[in-house]
């Protein structure tokens, strides 16, 4: 009896964990959208359009696995953006749009991100806690 | 136009059309055979059950069995002959070379990219490019294939079947696109680690657009305008890039990697691996081994300033 119920318990536990995880993700997306005014889902797609994924490790973006720039896991929890300005949504947006205007020595290029896309990308990055 | 077509079931030229027809014929014959076999099986099961219930032991006569087997053999051979005939006639039609006015393009397979050369009687009018093939709509195009290293296979599903590129041998294929559009092609013979990242695009456009494109490709590279672009050109020409890449009109005359004279005019980078945008370009230049592990291009750890200048210069190469 005990043997038989084990897989069932495991399945229930997994389902519960997955649901909680999904709720947690939904909560993180809502919080990020509120903090930044952007759309995290659109931002996630824009990351691949502008090529952020070719230089950074970004959780949730399958193609983002390069170490040219710093990995962006838990980027929302970091104190500074690029080590030069305080990590606020506004600073993150400006950095994404014109990194060289903030730090003239950075290797990160201006990739032509529009204001709306910068806000959406910031929104996605702010889901990464 | 922006929709990339990559399907045997959506033919866009006479060759692909014939292959598609052959596919449809084979499909319907197979469906017919399947239905007949399924019915025969069902009938045998039903009859077997009935015989079992009525305790009948005597089967059909020898004569009936022989007749049935002979009939089955004749019908099967007949169908196979029809398919063989259709296949041979399709093959012959596909092999018929186009009229002399055909555009002639030499394709050389490399691990893992496509070298594309537009031939011309005048050497100065020949054009070399990579990974993006432009062809005029409604005109036959002859592709002459060879390989630089291992066996590759040239395949544009919406335009034609596959043709192998074999080292030391030359082969040819001719095709025609009847509708303007972008058609995706892919290496169809496993050729090493990055076989899956060995794609290309065929851009079929009107005669005018094609002539304009070819003319633009014949020109040497655009000159840099700003100070930053000039510095970028110096990075390219005096640095590592020039060891492998060629930019006509500059001292960069490498021939190991793709020609970059008009790289900014292409839609994709690294043989269909990345969209050709600033961010992707910068990441690719610095760290190609993460994007496409095994590619011949080595990592290039440029200083941040050199990287910015180089990217600005590469964008000039329209």
Q: What are the C-alpha distances in Å from B267 to residues B6, B22, B114, B283?
A: 16, 33, 15, 16
Residue B71, CB-side half-sphere exposure with 13 Å CA sphere: 6
Residues 65-124, chain A: which have Cβ within 8 Å of B?
Answer: 65-68, 100, 105-107, 109-112
Dihedral angle sign, alpha carbons of residues A43, A44, A49, A54 = positive
Give the residue-averaged pLDDT of A62-82. Answer: 94
CA-based nearest residue to A125, from A86, A76, A87 = A76
CATH of the domain at A45: 1.10.760.10
Taking CB atoms and an 8 Å limit, are A54 and B308 in contact across chains? no
Local confidence band at B52 (pLDDT 50, 70, 90 cut-offs): confident
Residue in B closest to A52 by C-alpha: B279
Residue in B closest to A106 by C-alpha: B304
A109 CB neighbours in chain B (<8 A) are 278-279, 282, 307-308, 311
Strand partners, B74: none
Between chain A and chain B, the number of residue pairs with CB atoms below 8 A apart is 64
Taking CB atoms and an 8 Å limit, are A111 and B291 in contact across chains? no
Q: Please, are residues A115 and A106 in contact by the beta-carbon 8 Å criterion?
A: no
Taking CB atoms and an 8 Å limit, are A109 and B290 in contact across chains? no
Q: For residue B1, is pLDDT > 50?
A: no
Tell me the percentage of chain B whose pLDDT exceeds 70.
96
Cα(B276)–Cα(B261) distance, rounded to whole angstroms?
Answer: 15
Query: In terms of C-beta density within 10 A (0-12 exposed, 13-18 middle, 19 or more buried), how is residue B143 classed?
Result: buried
Q: For residue B264, is pLDDT > 70?
A: yes
Does residue A55 belong to the interface with chain B, where contact is any CB pair within 8 Å? yes
Taking CB atoms and an 8 Å limit, are A106 and B304 in contact across chains? yes
CATH code for B227-314?
2.60.40.420
The number of distinct structural domains making up chain A is 1
Token duo for residue B51: 């015989």
Judge if ipTM > 0.90. no
State the virtual CA torsion across A54, A57, A63, A67 in degrees, nearest 10: 50
pLDDT of residue A1: 43
**Cα angle for residues A15, A16, A18 (degrees, 5° grid):** 65
Give the residue-averaged pLDDT of A38-50. Answer: 95
Q: How far is CA B168 from the centre of its chain?
A: 20
User: Closest to A50 (Cβ–Cβ): which among B279, B284, B290?
Assistant: B279
A111 CB neighbours in chain B (<8 A) are 277-279, 282
Domain that holds residue A17: 2-125
Q: Please, are residues A62 and B286 in contact by the beta-carbon 8 Å criterion?
A: no
Say whether domain B103-218 belongs to CATH 2.60.40.420.
yes
Local confidence band at B91 (pLDDT 50, 70, 90 cut-offs): confident
Local confidence band at B102 (pLDDT 50, 70, 90 cut-offs): confident
Q: Please, are residues B146 and B169 in contact by the beta-carbon 8 Å criterion?
A: yes
Residue in B closest to A109 by C-alpha: B308
Q: Please, are residues B276 and B267 in contact by the beta-carbon 8 Å criterion?
A: yes
Q: Is the overall model pTM greater than 0.90, yes or no?
A: no
Q: For residue A91, is pLDDT > 50?
A: yes
Taking CB atoms and an 8 Å limit, are B281 and A51 in contact across chains? yes
């Amino acid at each position: 009896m005990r043997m038989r119920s084990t897989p069932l318990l495991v399945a229930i536990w997994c389902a519960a964990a997955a649901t909680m995880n999904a709720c947690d993700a939904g909560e993180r997306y809502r919080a990020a959208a509120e903090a930044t005014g952007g759309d995290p889902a659109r931002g996630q797609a824009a990351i691949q359009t502008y090529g952020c994924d070719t230089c950074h490790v970004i959780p949730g973006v399958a193609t983002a696995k390069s170490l040219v720039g710093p990995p962006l896991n838990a980027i929302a929890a970091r104190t500074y953006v690029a080590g030069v300005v305080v990590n606020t949504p506004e600073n993150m947006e400006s950095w994404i749009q014109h990194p060289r205007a903030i730090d003239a020595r950075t290797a990160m290029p201006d990739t032509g991100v529009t204001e709306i896309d910068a806000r959406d990308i910031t929104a996605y990055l702010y889901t990464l806690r | 136009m922006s929709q990339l077509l990559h399907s045997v079931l959506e033919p866009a030229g006479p060759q692909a059309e014939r292959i598609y027809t052959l596919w449809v014929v084979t499909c319907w014959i197979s469906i017919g055979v399947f239905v007949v076999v399924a019915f025969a099986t069902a009938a045998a099961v039903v009859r077997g059950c009935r015989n079992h219930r009525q305790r009948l032991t005597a089967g059909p006569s020898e004569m009936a069995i022989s007749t049935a087997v002979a009939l089955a053999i004749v019908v099967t051979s007949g169908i196979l002959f029809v398919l063989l005939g259709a296949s041979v006639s399709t093959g012959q039609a596909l092999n018929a070379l186009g009229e002399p006015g055909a555009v002639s393009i030499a394709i050389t397979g490399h691990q893992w990219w496509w070298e594309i050369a537009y031939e011309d009687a005048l050497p100065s009018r020949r054009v070399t490019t990579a990974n993006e093939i432009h062809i005029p709509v409604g005109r036959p195009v002859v592709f002459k294939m060879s390989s630089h290293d291992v066996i590759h296979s040239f395949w544009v599903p919406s335009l034609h079947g596959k043709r192998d590129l074999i080292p030391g041998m030359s082969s040819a294929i001719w095709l025609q696109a009847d509708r303007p559009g972008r058609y995706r092609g892919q290496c169809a013979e496993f050729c090493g680690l990055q076989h899956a990242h060995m794609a290309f695009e065929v851009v079929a456009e009107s005669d005018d657009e094609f002539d304009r494109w070819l003319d633009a490709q014949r020109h040497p590279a655009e000159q840099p305008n700003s100070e930053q672009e000039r510095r970028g050109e110096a990075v390219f020409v005096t640095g590592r890039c020039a060891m492998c890449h060629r930019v006509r009109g500059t001292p960069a005359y490498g021939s190991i990697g793709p020609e970059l004279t008009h790289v900014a005019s292409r839609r994709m980078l690294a043989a269909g691996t990345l969209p050709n945008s600033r961010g992707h370009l910068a990441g690719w230049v610095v760290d190609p081994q993460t994007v496409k592990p095994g590619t011949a291009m080595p990592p290039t750890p440029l200083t941040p300033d050199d990287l910015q200048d180089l990217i600005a210069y590469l964008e000039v190469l329209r």
